[in-house]
Amino acid sequence: GQQLNQSPQSMFIQEGEDVSMNCTSSSIFNTWLWYKQEPGEGPVLLIALYKAGELTSNGRLTAQFGITRKDSFLNISASIPSDVGIYFCAGRTSNTGKLIFGQGTTLQVKP
Amino acid sequence: NAGVTQTPKFQVLKTGQSMTLQCAQDMNHEYMSWYRQDPGMGLRLIHYSVGAGITDQGEVPNGYNVSRSTTEDFPLRLLSAAPSQTSVYFCASRLRPSGGYEQYFGPGTRLTVT
């Protein structure tokens, strides 16, 4: 079946540092999404991408839809302690297709 | 507007017991789905529904049943619980199956099967 490979699996960084994580797939996707999950909560949508090459920002977060349509990355600039959580990428092959999730990147920020 | 609600928040079952996880949304969303989340596995789709009366299987449907008799509710039934079903279960909904509408998740149900 379709799989998304998300890396890194975990990151432990100092407050103020920039963070980068990415997802790759063997399949072409027409939608890439990035979610954040905090302990005890459901995932919350951060950014949605719908076009190859699209670069979208949400505050300190920036995500890009890869040109090949098989990858996406998420950058967080100037990290703060409340950025702690698990970040998931998710992809969809068609508008009515199922959403496939990556394994998640656990981010810890040291004040 | 309460969004996506799930009950119960926590549940412990013995092997072989059955139970229903409830999910409801008050946003008139057509599309609803159930995921399970296990460590290191991300979220995996169990079942989904594109509208009342229509359901279909996801990646890991075995051992689970669903029905969609109303737009608002999408219960997930465990017929005979097994320890392998210990997981965190998330319900999600989306305004329409197609187009630029994305999924919103409930708070989750933490299930332990002993």
Average pLDDT over residues A41-61: 94
Tens digits of residue pLDDT in B4-45: 999 999 999 999 999 999 999 999 999 999 999 998 778 999
Cβ contact, residue pair A88, B41, below 8 Å: no
The mean pLDDT value of chain B amounts to: 93
- Per-residue pLDDT, B41: 79
- Per-residue pLDDT, A94: 73
Per the CB < 8 A criterion, the answer to whether B25 and B51 are in contact is no
Tens digits of residue pLDDT in A68-100: 999 999 999 999 999 999 999 999 887 666 788
Cβ contact, residue pair A42, B90, below 8 Å: yes
Cβ contact, residue pair A42, B40, below 8 Å: no
Q: How far is A70 from chain B (nearest CA, A)?
A: 18
- Per-residue pLDDT, B99: 66
Tens digits of residue pLDDT in B51-101: 999 999 998 999 999 999 999 999 999 999 999 999 999 999 988 776 667
Residues in chain A: 111
What is the rounded CA–CA span in Å between residue B92 and residue B24?
Answer: 9
Of the partner residues A90, A96, A100, the one whose CB lies closest to the CB of residue B98? A96
Does residue B41 belong to the interface with chain A, where contact is any CB pair within 8 Å?
Answer: yes
- Give the up-direction half-sphere exposure of residue B16: CA atoms within 13 A in the CB hemisphere: 0
Per the CB < 8 A criterion, the answer to whether B106 and B26 are in contact is no
What is the rounded CA–CA span in Å between residue A70 and residue B72?
Answer: 35
Q: How far is CA B87 from CA B10, B36, B51, B52, B97, in A?
A: 11, 6, 26, 27, 26
